[in-house]
Amino acid sequence: MANHKSALKRNRQSQLRRVRNRANKSQIRTVIRAVDEAINANAADKAQEALRAAIPVISRAAMKGAVHKRNAARKVSRLTKRVNAFVQANA
């Protein structure tokens, strides 16, 4: 455990950041799951709507530093590819 005043403060800050980052990452997983469920339910409209809701959540997490910006871009790209392929197959 930290003993110095500055180390104690750093520890408190780290714990707050950890909680915040976990919440952001959990939210990312939730929106991705919503897209997956819409695809599995054969609902093209719901899949596109879920994707539109997921992109800002993923981008926001990247801006806040919860995930790397390239990681976020990769997630968005793969989700978009899956939804577009699904919509094309059902059109």
Domain ranges of the chain: 5-90
- Residue 91 in this model has a pLDDT that exceeds 80: no
Which one of 1.20.58.110, 2.60.40.10, 3.40.50.300, 1.10.10.10 gives the CATH number of domain 5-90? 1.20.58.110
Q: Does pTM surpass 0.85?
A: yes
pLDDT tens digits, 6-35: 999 999 999 999 999 999 999 999 999 999
Q: How far apart are the first and last CA of the chain?
A: 60
The b/e string for 18-49 (b: 16+ C-beta within 10 A; e otherwise) is eeeeeebeebbeebbebbeebbeeeebeebbe
User: Which residue intervals of 1-91 are DSSP H helices?
Assistant: 5-40, 44-64, 69-90
